[in-house]
C-alpha cells in the first residue's frame, strides 16, 4: 500500500448515530464501547446511537464518545491487517493517534480523555469562553488581531486549521472584538457552538492537575511516527510526547503545519478515521490541486468496504 496517514477527528465531528453500524457488525467494537463505558461510567453507546445531541456534545461525555468511535473505526480497519505509516489527530483526536501508534493502550487512552474532559468541563464552568472561526486571513494577520484584542482580556489562536482558516478562543469580549477586526479586513467570522474557550489560558487551571495525571501513565516509543499538534512535527521520544500532551490543553493546534509536513513526506493516502468529515474538508483546502493522493473518510461500514475494495 502507498504511504498512508490515519487522521483522527476531535470535538465538532459528533453526530447522533455515529459508530452504530460498526457496533452492530463487530463484537470487538462492542468490547471497545464496554471498556470505555466501564472507565467513564457513562452509557456511551446509548448517547452515540440515540443522543440527544445536546447531551452527547457535553464535553465530559463527548471526549470518551468520540474516542470510542475513532478506535472502533480503527479496529475495523486493522482487522484486515492494514496499518498506517504515520498518524495524527486533531486536538482530542491526538489521543486516538497515540493509541494507533502504540504509544498508549486503549484503556489508558480512555482514562486520559475522560479525565481531560472532566477537567476541561470544570474550567469552562469557572470561566465563560467563546470561540470563532476566522476565514480569509493568514495566520500572521490573525495573530496581530489577537494581540490587539488582548487589551480586553484573554484571547489566543486555538487552531490553525488551514492556510486561511483559523479559530480564535478566549473570553467573550476580546473574541468578539477580534472577530469584528477580522471582518473589517474582509474576513468572515463564524461563532462556534462550544461550552468553553478550548486551547486558551481560560482552562489553564486544568494544566497542572492533568500533567500530574499524565505522569502516572507509561508512554511507549511509537511503533510508527506521530505528528504532534503543539509542534506540527514528528516526535518519537515518549517522554517528549507526554510533555507535549500536557501543553496541548492550552496551546494552538497546528493542523495546517501537520498537513504540510505530510505533503513534504509525500504521503499519498489520507484516511480520516472516525465520525464526520471535518478533517477531509480541511484536507481539500490545504492539498495542492496537482498533489497526487487519495482521500478516504471511514465512518461507516459502506466507507470501510469501499476503502478495502480500492486498496486491495
Active site residues: 91, 199
Q: Which long-range contacts (CB under 8 A, 24 or more apart) does 209-217 make?
A: 209/119, 210/115, 210/116, 210/119, 210/246, 210/249, 211/246, 213/112, 213/115, 214/112, 214/242, 214/245, 214/246, 215/242, 217/104, 217/108, 217/111, 217/112, 217/242
> Which residues, 6+ apart, have CB-to-CB distance to 285 below 8 Å?
162, 163, 164, 165
Q: Is 208 helix (H, G, I), strand (E, B) or coil?
A: helix
**Do 39 and 71 meet the contact criterion of CB atoms below 8 Å apart?**
no
Q: Are strands 130-135 and 165-170 parallel, antiparallel or unpaired?
A: antiparallel
Amino acid at each position: 500500500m502507498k504511504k498512508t496517514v490515519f487522521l483522527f477527528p476531535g470535538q465538532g465531528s459528533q453526530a447522533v448515530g455515529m459508530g452504530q453500524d460498526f457496533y452492530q457488525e463487530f463484537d470487538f467494537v462492542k468490547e471497545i464501547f464496554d471498556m470505555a463505558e466501564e472507565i467513564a461510567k457513562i452509557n456511551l453507546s446509548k448517547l452515540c446511537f440515540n443522543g440527544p445531541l445536546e447531551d452527547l456534545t457535553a464535553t465530559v461525555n463527548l471526549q470518551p464518545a468520540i474516542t470510542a468511535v475513532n478506535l472502533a473505526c480503527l479496529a475495523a480497519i486493522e482487522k484486515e491487517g492494514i496499518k498506517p505509516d504515520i498518524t495524527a489527530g486533531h486536538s482530542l483526536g491526538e489521543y486516538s493517534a497515540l493509541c494507533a501508534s502504540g504509544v498508549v493502550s486503549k484503556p489508558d487512552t480512555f482514562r486520559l480523555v475522560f479525565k481531560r474532559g472532566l477537567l476541561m468541563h470544570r474550567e469552562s464552568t469557572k470561566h465563560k469562553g467563546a470561540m470563532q472561526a476566522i476565514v480569509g486571513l493568514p495566520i500572521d494577520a490573525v495573530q496581530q488581531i489577537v494581540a490587539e484584542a488582548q487589551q480586553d482580556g484573554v484571547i489566543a489562536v486555538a487552531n490553525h486549521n488551514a492556510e486561511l482558516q483559523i479559530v480564535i478562543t478566549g473570553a467573550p469580549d476580546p473574541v468578539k472584538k477580534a472577530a469584528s477586526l477580522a471582518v473589517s479586513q474582509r474576513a468572515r467570522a463564524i461563532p462556534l457552538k462550544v461550552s468553553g474557550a478550548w486551547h486558551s489560558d481560560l482552562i489553564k487551571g486544568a494544566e497542572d492537575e492533568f500533567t500530574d495525571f499524565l505522569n502516572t501513565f507509561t508512554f511507549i516509543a511509537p511503533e510508527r511516527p506521530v505528528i504532534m499538534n503543539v509542534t506540527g512535527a514528528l516526535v518519537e521520544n515518549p517522554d517528549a510526547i507526554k510533555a507535549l500532551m500536557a501543553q496541548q490543553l492550552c496551546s494552538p493546534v497546528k493542523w495546517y503545519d501537520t498537513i504540510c509536513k505530510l505533503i513534504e513526506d509525500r504521503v499519498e493516502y489520507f484516511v480520516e478515521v472516525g465520525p464526520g468529515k471535518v478533517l477531509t474538508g480541511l484536507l481539500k483546502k490545504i492539498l495542492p490541486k496537482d498533489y497526487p493522493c487519495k482521500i478516504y473518510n471511514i465512518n461507516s461500514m459502506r466507507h470501510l468496504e469501499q476503502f478495502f475494495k480500492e486498496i486491495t
